[in-house]
Amino acid sequence: MPHLRPRRARRTPAIRELLTQTRLHPRDLVLPVFVKEGLQEPAEIRSMPGVYQHTIASVRDLTEQARDAGLGGIMVFAVPQSRDALGSGATDPDGFFAAAIRAVAQAAEGALVVMSDICLDEFTDHGHCGVLRPDGTIDNDATIDRYAQMAVIHADAGADVVGLSGMMDGQTAEVRAALDDAGLIDTLILSYTAKYASAFYGPFRDAVESTLEGDRRTYQMDPANRREALRALDIEEASGADIVMVKPAGSYLDVLADLAAASSVPVAAYQVSGEYAMIEAASANGWIDRERVIVESLIAIRRAGADVILTYYALEAAAWLAGSRRDALPVNPPVASGSAGRVADAGAGSGRLDEFPAGPIPRADEVGR
């Protein structure tokens, strides 16, 4: 007869819930949103069913939903109407991106952390994250000057956090100095510290209508490399990063665990568009249990060490988390099955949280973790 019986601790939902090591909370989640210039109606992204390009008006609604759902934050990406070699639109203080950030910041009412993407790829006609030299290579140092201008504009427009996703050398130090010079000492920097040259970004490029030909392998990291992420962490910490990030998340949990163990600042992870698209595609075919796979994927990212998760599922997951025990989810999901409760179906492109039978969401400081 066995005398060590670990199954004892798995016997009932109550025991499992008490002894679980990793919990998800809406405040850990950040919703990435796409706002497109000149759009009249929210437009669903072909390769990201349920995720929309938004108008300024619909992103305002979505921000209110995110705020009311008790999310931690929202990350704004802009899709401009015109592009050029320098990505000029990115540094127009009266431009569309600044207007979108202002709208989101206003609707967030201080209850959501407002983040914005600092990168040129949506604004350049060649689709690269930086400006190019005549020979077609990236001009690193000219690029980070442009990021610095962009960051000041975003912070002025109301971004609490600027997300540096361009993977240029020296970007964090350069942006920190520019923010400080402008008196924007309280703006945080989220550094995409270990951002890999990943095929999992495919659907995002639909979302921002990317014009990129070729790839980003001279600036984003080689997916085969693990050690390099720790060097990047050293550099980013020394340069003043307030939050460091690993991206993508699901296929890079080892890197995330390394960073979480070594970092002296909070660690974020980005469950990217391709991770979302794969879950949606398999679910649509009835091949996996959508809700359970989503929750499991997010729990795994937390377990590996992420304090903060950027995910297109943020609103939907928050609604589930508010309603029930994790264990009860697969059996009795509080969200109607199929797509009824999805952000997808919110006619105006916003999450229909009013349809979720979820109660008020306790704040982290009320319930602890």
Tell me which residues touch ligand PBG (CB under 6 A): 117, 119, 121, 129, 165, 201, 204, 216, 272-273
Residue 107, SS3 per DSSP: helix
Residue closer to ligand PBG by CB (options 112, 150) is: 150
Check whether 363 is labelled as a binding-site residue.
Answer: no
Give min distance, CB of 339 to ligand PBG, in A.
20
Residue closer to ligand PBG by CB (options 143, 165) is: 165
Residue closer to ligand PBG by CB (options 172, 358) is: 172
Q: Given the DSSP bridges, would you call strands 161-164 and 308-311 parallel, antiparallel or unpaired?
A: unpaired
Check whether 312 is labelled as a binding-site residue.
Answer: yes
Residue closer to ligand PBG by CB (options 193, 273) is: 273
Give min distance, CB of 272 to ligand PBG, in A.
4
How many C-beta atoms lie closer than 10 Å to residue 51's C-beta? Answer: 28
- Distance of alpha carbon 79 from alpha carbon 38, whole angstroms: 9
Q: What is the dihedral of CA 114, 119, 121, 123, to 10 degrees?
A: 70
Give min distance, CB of 369 to ligand PBG, in A.
26
Residue closer to ligand PBG by CB (options 97, 356) is: 97
Q: Given the DSSP bridges, would you call strands 43-45 and 48-54 parallel, antiparallel or unpaired?
A: antiparallel
- Distance of alpha carbon 175 from alpha carbon 185, whole angstroms: 11
Radius of gyration for the alpha carbons in the chain, expressed in angstroms and rounded: 20
36 is catalytic: no
Check whether 273 is labelled as a binding-site residue.
Answer: yes
Q: What own/partner pairs with CB < 8 Å and gap ≥ 24 does 89-92 have?
A: 89/123, 90/120, 90/122, 90/123, 90/146, 90/150, 91/146, 91/149, 91/150, 91/153, 92/153
Give min distance, CB of 273 to ligand PBG, in A.
3
Question: Exposed/middle/buried for 10, CB within 10 Å: 0-12, 13-18, 19+?
Answer: exposed
Q: 247, 302, 342, 352: which one is catalytic?
A: 247
Give min distance, CB of 284 to ligand PBG, in A.
19
Q: Tell whether omega for the bond before 6 is within 30 degrees of 0, i.e. cis.
A: no
Q: Which residue is nearest to ligand PBG (CB)?
A: 204
Give min distance, CB of 196 to ligand PBG, in A.
9
Residue with tokens 């679910």: 283
Residue closer to ligand PBG by CB (options 70, 166) is: 166
Q: 36, 195, 290, 302: which one is catalytic?
A: 195
- Distance of alpha carbon 159 from alpha carbon 155, whole angstroms: 5
Residue with tokens 């720790």: 230
- Distance of alpha carbon 48 from alpha carbon 203, whole angstroms: 6
247 is catalytic: yes
Q: Which residues are designated catalytic?
A: 195, 247
Binding residue numbers for 5-aminolevulinate: 205, 216, 273, 312
Binding residue numbers: 205, 216, 273, 312
